[in-house]
């Protein structure tokens, strides 16, 4: 790392940048704005295509380029097709917490060798692309519509839990805190390499579970070759 790239993991800062503003990005932005964050929305088609979403989100939101979202976001959410991760800007994200919501769908993304033979995970690939950022995998197992309907206050019996994975403890704690703020418990699956435990077609993927149930589901996960 260069000397000015110590990862920033403070989600109490005011701005969350979104690289990708589709189903997941727009729902997370709604949660963020409702909790006092500013958001910068971006997509591959240009800021003019986001006018309706930004108008809905109100004064705390603005549309910009992908570079704008990367540069101005204190925390940045990457929520794009896995095949497009090489388009994510590198230098503006140095030193930042990057939340990765991406999933690998071969029918959409094409066959990606490292994911097909399971020598890597989706978030490890993004981390390699962003060597000076702290990538945390989160928000990829929940149906997008449930992001704004499934959250409950801390301490609610049976509160829904979502899994995370990451290599930097401070970055993971920041995401745990953000999940709690958004209405969900977090279950730490371990390092980014353990993100396979909640990829598509695993017991934790798309299933409504509390923290104990989610831990059990993560433990039951099998590699694709074993399914």
What are the pLDDT digits (tens) for 41-66? Answer: 999 999 999 999 999 999 999 999 99
Average pLDDT value for the chain: 94
- Measured CA distances, 204 to 76, 162, 216, 217, 220 (Å): 24, 9, 9, 5, 9
In which band, very low, low, confident or very high, does the pLDDT at 12 lie, cut at 50, 70 and 90? very low
pLDDT at 193: 98
What token pair was written down for 201? 């077609």
pLDDT at 5: 37
In which band, very low, low, confident or very high, does the pLDDT at 222 lie, cut at 50, 70 and 90? very high
Burial of 77 (0-12, 13-18, 19+ CB in 10 A): buried
Runs of H (alpha helix) within 130-168? none
State pTM to two decimals: 0.93
Find out whether 8 and 97 touch, Cβ atoms under 8 Å.
yes
| Closest among 209, 212, 189 to 121, alpha carbons compared | 189
* More confident site: 72 or 5: 72
SS3 state of residue 219? helix
């Amino acid at each position: 790392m260069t000397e000015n790239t110590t990862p920033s993991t403070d989600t109490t800062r005011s701005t969350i940048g979104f690289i990708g503003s589709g189903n997941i990005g727009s729902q997370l932005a709604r949660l963020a704005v409702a909790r006092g964050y500013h958001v910068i929305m971006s997509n591959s088609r240009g800021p003019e295509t986001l006018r309706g979403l930004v108008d809905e989100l109100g004064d705390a939101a603005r549309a910009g380029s992908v570079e704008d979202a990367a540069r101005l976001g204190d925390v940045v959410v990457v929520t794009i097709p896995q095949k497009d991760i090489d388009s994510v800007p590198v230098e503006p994200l140095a030193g930042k917490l990057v939340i990765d919501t991406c999933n690998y769908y071969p029918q959409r993304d094409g066959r990606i060798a490292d994911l097909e033979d399971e020598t890597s995970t989706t978030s490890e690939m993004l981390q390699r692309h962003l060597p000076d950022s702290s990538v945390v995998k989160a928000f990829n197992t929940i149906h997008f519509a449930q992001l704004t309907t499934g959250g409950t206050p801390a301490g609610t019996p049976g509160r829904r839990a979502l899994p995370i994975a990451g290599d930097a403890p401070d970055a993971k704690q920041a995401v745990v805190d953000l999940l709690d703020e958004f209405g969900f418990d977090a279950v730490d699956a371990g390092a980014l390499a353990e993100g396979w435990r909640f990829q598509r077609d695993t017991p934790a993927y798309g299933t409504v579970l509390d923290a104990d149930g989610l831990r059990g589901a993560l433990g039951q996960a099998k590699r694709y070759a074993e399914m």
